[in-house]
Amino acid sequence: MKLIVEEAALWMSVQDRGRYGYQRFGLPESGPMDWWAFSAASWLVGNQPMQAGLECGFSTASLIVDCETLMAVCGAGYHLSVNGRTLPMWMSFSVRKGDQVRLQKVAGGNWAYLAVAGGIQSETWLGSRSTYSRAGLGANLAIGDHLPLKYTTQHTHSAGRSMPTHARPHYQRDPLIGVIPGPHQERFSAEIFDLFWAESYRVSTRSDRMGYRLTGARLNHRTGPDLVSQGMMIGQIQIPGDGQPIVMMPDHPTTGGYTSIAVVSRADRPLLVQAEPGLSNINFRPVSIAEAQESYAAAVAGFQNHSDNEEDLWLHL
């Protein structure tokens, strides 16, 4: 049982929830760029949290299925079709041997996640199937690659399970991102913080799974950008010497020597990663730790509280 890569996206890899406990050895967590869409796709097909799925980013992907199974695709900036017929995203569907599953890149986002019942059974490194190519833990997928699957009895009887729009991230072209002010606030003046809250930024085309480089108003330091190297985390916003923010992503360095002005709220990180390079205007707002925790808890609760069999989604295609 396997998936065969017919057309590979620019960024296309196997990911699970991430590789934890190894940052002290220089290995980041990795895992999905959009944790919310990844988790929703896994939940829709009945997978356990650590089972692996497929991440596609920035261009079209196509796969051939060689078995009957259950799938779901979640994310933004993609259209889903099976054998040329458009299907809804954020909803489970059944496929048969020989079917072609195509994720067509469109405007509105960057990343999509394909989950298969039972999970993708790729190689495991240090307790995770997440690809981290910089350390040789797997590689981006290429045409002709085979992805082994696990046999499961959860097939067509589970098709049609969906996550309604109100329970998904509120993706938008110009998102307002909540951030927790960072550990080096004393390195920035009150005027610079006012500038950070007031001005818009755009994602640079030089961005990748390591970090999103933003372009916009220059954020100058009081006493320079450098400091003794410290631990890094996903969502941390570094300000190097050029004053242009860099947001750490799942393949981030584990240590860094630039000041950190803020950390992106986990609940809002999907909105940032789906912001389109060169198009989206991104603004930031300060949030408290308690507010960030409440937002994340509400997002997770959505997986348990919002599930419908929306046959009308199919009927209106």
DSSP calls for the chain: -EEEEEE--SEEEEE-S---S-GGGT------SSHHHHHHHHHHTT--TT-BEEEEESS-EEEEE-S-EEEEEEESSEEEEETTEEE-SSBEEEE-TT-EEEEEE-SS-SEEEEEETT-B----BTTB---BGGGTB-----TT-EEEB---S--GGGTTEE--GGGS----SS-EEEEEE-TTGGGS-HHHHHHHHHS-EEE-TT--SSEEEEEES----SS-SEEEEEE--TTEEEE-TT---EEE-TT--SEEEEEEEEEE-TTTHHHHHTSPTTT--BEEEE--HHHHHHHHHHHHHHHHH--EE-HHHHHT-
- Residue 183: predicted pLDDT: 85
**pLDDT for res 317:** 39
In a domain, 81, yes or no: yes
Ramachandran class of 75: left when φ > 0, alpha when ψ lies in -120 to 50, beta otherwise:
left
Judge whether 18 lies within some domain: yes
Question: How far is residue 72's CA from residue 11's CA, in Å, rounded to a whole number?
Answer: 19
Q: Are strands 211-216 and 246-248 parallel, antiparallel or unpaired?
A: antiparallel
Residue 192: inside a domain: yes
CATH of the domain at 271: 2.40.100.10
- In a domain, residue 125? The reply is yes
Within-domain flag for 237: yes
Q: Are residues 241 and 181 in the same domain?
A: yes
Domain identity same for 153 and 191: no
Report if residue 65 sits inside a domain: yes
Report the alpha-carbon distance of residue 291 to residue 265 in Å, rounded: 9
Is 89 found in the same domain as 36? yes
Asked if the structure places residue 298 within a domain, the reply is: no
Give the domain range for residue 199: 176-286
Domain shared by 262 and 161, yes or no: no
Tell me, yes or no, whether 182 and 55 share the same domain: no
189 and 149 inside one domain: no
> 145 and 263 share a domain?
no
pLDDT for 304 equals: 66
Six-digit token pair at 278? 């060169």
One domain for residues 216 and 77: no
Per-residue confidence (pLDDT) for residue 223, from 0 to 100: 86
Residue 291 lies in a domain: no
Q: What is the pLDDT of residue 48?
A: 86
Query: Distance (Å, rounded) from C-alpha 51 to C-alpha 301?
Result: 20
User: Structurally, how many domains does the chain consist of?
Assistant: 2
Residue 127 and residue 51 in one domain: yes
Residue corresponding to tokens 């755009």: 202
158 and 249 co-located in one domain: no
What's the confidence (pLDDT) of residue 314? 42
CA distance 168 to 75: 9
Strands 78-82 and 53-57, sheet pairing? unpaired
Encoded tokens for 4: 């065969």
Do residues 190 and 144 share a domain?
no
pLDDT for residue 306: 58
Cα–Cα distance measured from residue 72 to residue 44, given in angstroms and rounded to the nearest whole number: 6
Would you give per-residue pLDDT tens digits along the chain (317 residues)?
889 999 999 999 999 999 999 999 999 999 999 999 999 999 999 998 889 999 999 999 999 999 889 999 999 999 999 999 999 999 999 999 999 999 999 999 999 999 999 999 999 999 999 999 999 999 999 999 999 998 676 555 678 888 888 888 999 999 999 999 988 888 899 999 999 999 999 999 999 999 999 999 999 988 888 888 888 999 999 999 999 999 999 999 999 888 999 999 999 999 999 999 999 999 999 999 999 999 999 888 877 665 554 444 443 33
**Does residue 8 sit in the same domain as residue 148?**
yes
